[in-house]
Structure 1
Amino acid sequence: MKNKHIYMMVLGLCAALMTGCTENERMRYENKPCVYFSSVTESDSIPYSFAAVIKDTATINVPLKIIGEAVDKDRVVAFRTAPASTAKDGVHYRLPETEVKVPAGKVTAEIPVKVYNKELDNGDVSLVLQLTPNADFDLGYSDRLTARVVITNQLVKPSYWRILSIYYGAYSKAKHRLCIQIQGFDFEPKLKGSMIQTYMSYGRLVYNYLLKTPVWDEETKQWITADWSPL
């Protein structure tokens, strides 16, 4: 008899848990979908430097992600330029109005920011994008509702140089310029796993170059040599 009571209690508990899960899932899927910046938090930035490229304009795609399911119709994400921006519209950047489309069947989108190499000699400028709610989307994670795009004509030390130092040694702007010269491209703003093998190979090329030809660093007033052991 006692075992029967225990069995009935276990069945009741399982039923309650299943009901709770069903209700939670229903609540999750019935909530209005939300949007957030998927690659940066409010403490991060997306740098773009014209120091490493021979061109006057470029396009930076700032990625967005939806919390919720894909639907069978196009939707739009609304945003605005925040007052904290120091970049000038039409001088340093150009935006596609104040909304972008999330195509039917998708839960990701991008805000294409066209940036210009103009009036940057006095220092960096920043464009701060801020998501705003609309009929299609509420706001997502509170620390991912703004994205700062920094536009500069100076070299920008990659935020992940701690990892790159395994292949390239200690950072300096002179070494950074040498890397661009040898590689033919600058480092990406964010580390991509697919680039690790490439950085490993180019790190050896930079090392071998410095073995034969040390580079003078005007900033530190020192010679940069092959003083590390690349993988």
Structure 2
Amino acid sequence: MKQMIIRLMIAALAISLWVSCDQEKTIMYRQEAGVRFMYQAEDEYSFVDNYGETVHLYYITVATTGDSVDYERKVSIAVVENDTNYVNTARPEQYKLLEGVVPAGSFSGEVPVEIHCTPDMSDSSFVVNIKLVPNEDFPLAGFDNRYFELSMTNQLVKPKNWGNLAFYFGQQFSISWYRFILNVLNVSYIPYPSAQEGDEKWSYNQLLANAGKVKAALLQYNREHPNDPLRHEDGDYAGDEVKMP
């Protein structure tokens, strides 16, 4: 009788281990079929960065979980709806969500959003909240429940690389100061040396020379307005005098 009890206990343990391993395999399989937004959960695109452009393809980077596969996989996205915490102000004619791709053998991919410039973007920003949705390739798409907030405008916005540009133009930022810089240099954006592949780039010597032009223009402005030097007109430093290194 004692031996039978021991055998039953061993059998029960074996069944428990088998079920546990089967569940673990199921979880591993589900993890391999997941995709999520890789980087920040929000970004803003301004058509000012590409003067004359009316349609722009914005790419959101995504990452997969688990092993890579030897075939291309599709990534699907949709607008977040019926959630009061995420309000969409962009209209359907201002954007188009496209199907993304994770290349064969890769752990990451991109999902494009086609942005259309409209006249009212010149004085306003519009937001669309985007989510990853399951499909045959990624049944657990968006498993971390993170959304991506994309803003679109035709206004000047703070450059993402201002932390680098601040060495040349000062730590304090405002749209009015940035507009002054662009007008002096007659450009729509500042081509920093570490710009993305394919973008125009200035050398560090060019950047220093152009920063010198801006400083000369700032000094000239202040000489012409001795009682009213150039000041930041907006942002955290509104009212403060503009200073350059």
Whether TM-score is above 0.5 comes out as: yes
Using CA pairs under 8 Å that are at least 6 residues apart, name the structure with larger relative contact order, 1 or 2.
1
Distance in 2, Cα, partners of 1:128 & 1:50: 19
1:149 Cα deviation (Å)? 1.2
1:54-94: per-residue Cα shift (whole Å, max 9, x none)? 2222111111111122111222222211123221122x112
3-state DSSP class of the match of 1:72?
coil
Distance in 2, Cα, partners of 1:121 & 1:136: 39
1:173-196: per-residue Cα shift (whole Å, max 9, x none)? 2331244453845269xx86999x
TM-score (norm 2): 0.63
Partner of 2:46: 49
Distance in 1, Cα, partners of 2:135 & 2:150: 23
Q: Show structure 2 runs of 5+ residues with no match.
A: 1-20, 82-86, 222-229
1:69 and 1:142, CA in 2 relative to 1: closer, same or farther beyond 3 A? Answer: same
Q: Map 1:61-210 to 2 at 5 A.
A: 61-83=59-81, 84-90=87-93, 92-96=94-98, 99-118=99-118, 119-121=120-122, 123-137=124-138, 138-139=140-141, 142=144, 145-159=146-160, 161-169=162-170, 170-181=172-183, 182=185, 184-186=187-189, 198=202, 201=205, 203-210=207-214
Partner of 2:244: 228
Distance in 1, Cα, partners of 2:63 & 2:166: 32
RMSD of the alignment, in Å? 3.5
Partner of 1:35: 35
| Bigger-Rg structure (1/2) | 2
1:187 and 1:134, CA in 2 relative to 1: closer, same or farther beyond 3 A? Answer: farther
Q: Map 1:204-219 to 2 at 5 A.
A: 204-214=208-218, 216=230, 219=233
Structure 1 runs of 4+ with >4 Å offset: 26-30, 191-195, 197-203, 215-218, 220-224
1:202 and 1:221, CA in 2 relative to 1: closer, same or farther beyond 3 A? Answer: farther
1:127 and 1:171, CA in 2 relative to 1: closer, same or farther beyond 3 A? Answer: same
